[in-house]
Chains A and B, each alone.
Chain A
């Protein structure tokens, strides 16, 4: 990421490339977001140095009640599956396991995420190309269709 590779591939991979894990790719998606956050670095300008606020709040004050805190909080990293709260809160939610939560999310995506289907004639044309190739190159008609 920091070296500027145009495309990085790998999320979902386990065991040096032997196994693909569909829950792992959901988990890795969170890590990618965090590395992109790091890549963005620290902006140093008049707005971000916040000198006025630091002087106004002063020693022993607090920044929690400032409007800028509310606005800025939306720009912080915010993983959805990684649990950042204290142990008691985590236990109160049933001690959710990161991997199992990622698996749950993968299943939710499969159930709820809609992908625009291919038109029927295109699906048929694709099927015909595969079936003909199976007969020609593999010596047998194919039995398996898409997503079977």
Chain B
């Protein structure tokens, strides 16, 4: 089994610690207050029921869920700091851990630079397989991903087509984006067909799903619909917060981290209310809006700081993190 690159504090190696404990406590306490007093929007009635049963204050009219500090603390008590992702070939097994670094490719592109012609064109199902095949061979990339959206298949079943294209082209474990409960269930059935049933899949998850809240603080139906069946089945789940500072989150970096933290901790609480102890990955792809153009700017110093901040907060909670980079 492969483990990620070690990071300090250890005997050697370079590391970055940009927050003091007091800074992290401030970010945490700010988030506790926001979750308790302001709450998050939860679109799905099924998710509202779960939050209500778990001791949260739920307003059925406004769909606002306020999470009391004790509910949050209860959920954080069962935080899992590591979990196995299985390769279709066991040589590709990896341990996703808080405090060690794995690298994977990009996900959710809409366009592709064609390998033959160089043309920039809409992405297809065939591209998903091609990219998985290339990443399978690259020694520095520990996980695979569904790199682009297949835009030549029905949107209602796109995830299934992505998985059908990816599975035969890699033996590395992989992540894929998920936005509906029927796709989540059927994709788990497809992966189960490879490993020999749903129980075997829980033991050796060869793929797992990720989905995104909508900033600020909306646990949208696509997120919770993907999450609930996945977590019920005991599969690790990745939530990626995608704030855009100055638009959907505060212009300040710390404020943006708190909005992101509120979204991710609320999502994490939901996973623990569905299945206590379920693996959860604390993810971000937060960026800054360049207010000169109104464009989301990804390759910026702000993004680097959000990534480092996300890693620091996830480690504070003992959760594995997932950030954009490279």
Q: A25-B147, A130-B160 are in contact. List 7 more A-B contacts (CB 8 A).
A: A5-B311, A18-B111, A19-B112, A42-B12, A115-B133, A125-B193, A129-B193
Chain-B contact segment, one of A55-63, A88-96, A101-109: A101-109
Report yes or no: A137 in contact with B154, Cβ–Cβ below 8 A.
yes
Please give, as numbers and ranges, the residues of chain A lying within 8 Å of B148 by CB-CB distance: 20
A123 within 8 A of B: yes
B297 within 8 A of A: yes
Report yes or no: A23 in contact with B326, Cβ–Cβ below 8 A.
no
Q: How far is the CA of A117 from the CA of B168 in the complex (A)?
A: 6
Report yes or no: B113 in contact with A23, Cβ–Cβ below 8 A.
yes
Report yes or no: A126 in contact with B190, Cβ–Cβ below 8 A.
yes
Given contacts A10-B325, A109-B134, A137-B154, contact A1 B194 (CB under 8 A): no
A residues 98-146 in Cβ contact with B at 8 Å: 103, 106-107, 109-110, 113, 115-118, 122-123, 125-127, 129-130, 133-134, 137-138, 140, 142, 144-146
Report yes or no: A140 in contact with B325, Cβ–Cβ below 8 A.
no
Q: How far is the CB of A134 from chain B (nearest CB, A)?
A: 5
Q: How far is the CA of A126 from the CA of B169 in the complex (A)?
A: 14
Report yes or no: B109 in contact with A32, Cβ–Cβ below 8 A.
no
A40 within 8 A of B: yes
Please give, as numbers and ranges, the residues of chain B lying within 8 Å of A30 by CB-CB distance: 140
Report yes or no: A129 in contact with B113, Cβ–Cβ below 8 A.
no
* B83-118 vs A, Cβ < 8 Å mask (1 yes, 0 no): 000001100000011111111111111111101000
B170 within 8 A of A: yes
Q: How far is the CA of A127 from the CA of B165 in the complex (A)?
A: 10
Q: How far is the CA of A133 from the CA of B89 in the complex (A)?
A: 28
* A3-28 vs B, Cβ < 8 Å mask (1 yes, 0 no): 11111111111111111111111101
Q: How far is the CB of B187 from chain A (nearest CB, A)?
A: 9
A148 within 8 A of B: yes
Q: How far is the CB of A118 from chain B (nearest CB, A)?
A: 5
| Among A1, A10, A107, contact of B5 (Cβ-Cβ < 8 Å) | A1
Q: How far is the CA of A32 from the CA of B307 in the complex (A)?
A: 16
Report yes or no: B311 in contact with A3, Cβ–Cβ below 8 A.
yes
Report yes or no: B168 in contact with A147, Cβ–Cβ below 8 A.
yes
B22 within 8 A of A: no
Report yes or no: B115 in contact with A130, Cβ–Cβ below 8 A.
no
Report yes or no: B189 in contact with A17, Cβ–Cβ below 8 A.
no
Please give, as numbers and ranges, the residues of chain A lying within 8 Å of B127 by CB-CB distance: 20
Report yes or no: B157 in contact with A134, Cβ–Cβ below 8 A.
yes
Residue total for B at the interface (Cβ-Cβ under 8 A) = 100
B residues 306-326 in Cβ contact with A at 8 Å: 307-312, 314-315, 320-326
Q: How far is the CB of B310 from chain A (nearest CB, A)?
A: 7
Q: How far is the CB of A35 from chain B (nearest CB, A)?
A: 8
B76 within 8 A of A: no
B101 and chain A: residue at smallest CB distance: A1
B315 and chain A: residue at smallest CB distance: A4
| Among B14, B135, B156, B315, contact of A138 (Cβ-Cβ < 8 Å) | B156
B120 within 8 A of A: yes
Report yes or no: B105 in contact with A9, Cβ–Cβ below 8 A.
yes
Q: How far is the CB of B103 from chain A (nearest CB, A)?
A: 5
B305 and chain A: residue at smallest CB distance: A3
A33 within 8 A of B: yes
| Among A22, A31, A36, contact of B130 (Cβ-Cβ < 8 Å) | A22
B312 and chain A: residue at smallest CB distance: A3
Report yes or no: B152 in contact with A3, Cβ–Cβ below 8 A.
no
Report yes or no: A19 in contact with B109, Cβ–Cβ below 8 A.
yes
Report yes or no: A8 in contact with B325, Cβ–Cβ below 8 A.
yes
Report yes or no: A17 in contact with B281, Cβ–Cβ below 8 A.
no
B34 within 8 A of A: no
Q: How far is the CA of A14 from the CA of B105 in the complex (A)?
A: 12
Report yes or no: B104 in contact with A8, Cβ–Cβ below 8 A.
yes
B137 within 8 A of A: yes
Please give, as numbers and ranges, the residues of chain B lying within 8 Å of A26 by CB-CB distance: 134, 138
